[in-house]
C-alpha cells in the first residue's frame, strides 16, 4: 500500500525528539482546552520536532472517542502546521483502532502511533494480522508502539520486521521496553527501513548512538529544551555535551517515574508555571507529602542547561 504523497515526507522527517504530551483536566474531570493550548505553545516554542497526542501520557485509555477527537483537534489547531502531530490511536480491538485512526486522519494528523492490543494475550500471528488490517484500512503513516510495562509483552521482532518489509507506510517503531539490547536488535533488523525511536528517557542518546532516529519521551513534557539540545549536540557530534545533557534527562526522568509519571508530569508543569491540570480518576494528584518531596528533588533540575 502506498501512502498519500504529501505524507511520505514524514518518513524522512521522523527524526528528533517528540513529546508524548499530557492532557490537562479540570478538577471535575473535564478536558481543559485552554490549558492544553497553553502547554502546546510551550512545547512548540521549545523546539521539539513533533507532538504525540493521546498517547499513554495523554491518558488516552480514559478518553472517549469524542474526547479524543476534541483533544486531537485542539492540538492540530494550536500547532497550526509548525511541527508534525502524531496521534495515539491504538485500542484493544482492531475495529476500534481503525475507527480511531480514521478519526485522527480526518482531523489532519501526520501519522498514527498504534500500541499493541492489550488485555487478552495474543499470538504473534494475531498481532501481525491486527496491524495488517489497520494498514490496509487506513491510508496513513503508522508507527508501531511496544510498551510492555502497560501491555505486558514486547512487540515481537519478527512481527516488526515482517510489517516493515511489506508496508512502506510503517514509518517507525517506538520501543518503550527500556532494554538497550532489544533496541539494538530492532535497529539492526529494521533500522534501514524505518525510524527506531526510544520510548524511555534514559535511552534517548544510546539509541541515537546505535543508529536510532530519535525519541518519544515523557520527560520532554517537562524539560523539552534540554532534550532538544541533547539531540542537536548529538547531530553536531559533540558527544561530551550530548552525554552531559543525557545525564540531566535521565535524572529528571527517574524522579518523574518515581512519583507516578502522569501525575508527576502535571505537578512538574505547575512548578514551571504552566497549567498541567489534574489527572483523570482513578489517577490522583500527588499528595501533600509527595508534592513537597517531589518539589525538593525536581526544582533544582528545572534550571536551564
Catalytic residue among 145, 167, 231, 278: 145
Catalytic residue among 11, 69, 105, 174: 174
CA distance 265 to 279: 10
- pLDDT surpassing 80 at residue 41: yes
Question: Strand 170-175 and strand 195-198: pairing?
Answer: parallel
CA distance 281 to 293: 23
- pLDDT surpassing 90 at residue 9: no
Residue-wise pLDDT tens digits, 156-198: 999 999 999 999 999 999 999 999 999 999 999 999 999 999 9
Query: In which domain, by residue range, is 80 found?
Result: 5-302
Per-residue pLDDT, 190? 96
Average pLDDT over residues 209-221: 98
How big, in percent rounded to 5, are the helix, strand and coil portions of the chain?
55, 15, 35
Question: Strand 111-115 and strand 50-53: pairing?
Answer: unpaired
CA distance 68 to 30: 12
CB within 8 A of 221, min separation 6: which ones? 19, 20, 21, 22, 43, 57, 265, 268, 269
CATH code for position 171? 3.20.20.70
- pLDDT surpassing 60 at residue 4: no
Residue-wise pLDDT tens digits, 226-284: 999 999 999 999 999 999 999 999 999 999 999 999 999 999 999 999 999 999 999 99
Provide the domain count of the chain: 1
Exposed / middle / buried, residue 247 (Cβ in 10 Å: 0-12, 13-18, 19+) = middle
174 is catalytic: yes
pTM of the model: 0.94
145 is catalytic: yes
Average pLDDT over residues 63-80: 98
Amino acid at each position: 500500500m502506498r501512502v498519500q504523497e504529501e505524507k511520505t515526507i514524514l518518513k524522512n522527517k521522523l527524526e528528533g525528539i517528540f513529546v508524548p504530551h499530557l492532557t490537562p483536566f479540570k478538577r471535575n474531570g473535564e478536558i481543559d482546552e485552554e490549558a492544553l493550548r497553553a502547554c502546546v505553545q510551550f512545547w512548540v516554542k521549545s523546539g521539539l520536532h513533533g507532538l504525540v497526542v493521546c498517547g499513554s501520557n495523554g491518558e488516552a485509555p480514559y478518553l472517549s472517542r469524542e474526547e479524543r477527537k476534541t483533544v486531537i483537534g485542539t492540538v492540530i489547531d494550536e500547532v497550526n502546521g509548525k511541527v508534525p502531530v502524531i496521534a495515539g490511536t491504538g485500542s484493544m480491538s482492531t475495529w476500534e483502532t481503525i475507527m480511531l485512526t480514521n478519526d485522527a486522519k480526518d482531523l489532519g494528523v501526520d501519522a498514527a502511533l498504534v500500541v499493541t492490543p492489550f488485555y487478552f494475550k495474543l499470538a504473534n500471528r494475531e498481532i501481525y494480522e491486527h496491524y495488517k488490517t489497520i494498514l490496509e484500512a487506513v491510508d496513513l503513516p503508522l508507527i508501531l508502539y511496544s510498551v510492555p510495562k502497560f501491555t505486558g509483552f514486547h512487540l515481537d521482532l519478527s512481527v516488526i520486521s515482517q510489517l516493515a518489509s511489506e508496508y512502506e507506510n510503517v514509518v517507525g517503531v517506538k520501543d518503550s521496553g527500556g532494554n538497550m539490547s532489544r533496541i539494538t536488535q530492532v535497529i539492526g533488523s529494521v533500522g534501514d527501513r524505518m525510524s527506531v525511536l526510544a520510548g524511555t528517557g534514559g535511552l534517548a542518546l544510546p539509541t541515537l548512538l546505535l543508529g536510532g532516529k530519535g525519541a518519544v519521551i515523557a520527560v520532554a513534557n517537562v524539560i523539552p529544551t534540554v532534550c532538544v539540545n541533547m539531540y542537536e549536540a548529538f547531530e553536531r557530534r559533540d558527544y561530551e555535551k550530548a552525554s552531559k545533557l543525557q545525564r540531566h534527562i535521565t535524572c529528571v526522568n527517574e524522579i518523574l517515574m518515581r512519583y507516578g509519571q502522569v501525575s508527576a508530569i502535571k505537578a512538574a508543569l505547575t512548578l514551571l508555571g504552566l497549567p498541567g491540570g489534574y489527572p483523570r480518576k482513578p489517577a490522583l494528584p500527588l499528595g501533600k507529602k509527595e508534592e513537597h518531596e517531589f518539589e525538593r528533588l525536581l526544582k533544582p533540575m528545572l534550571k536551564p542547561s
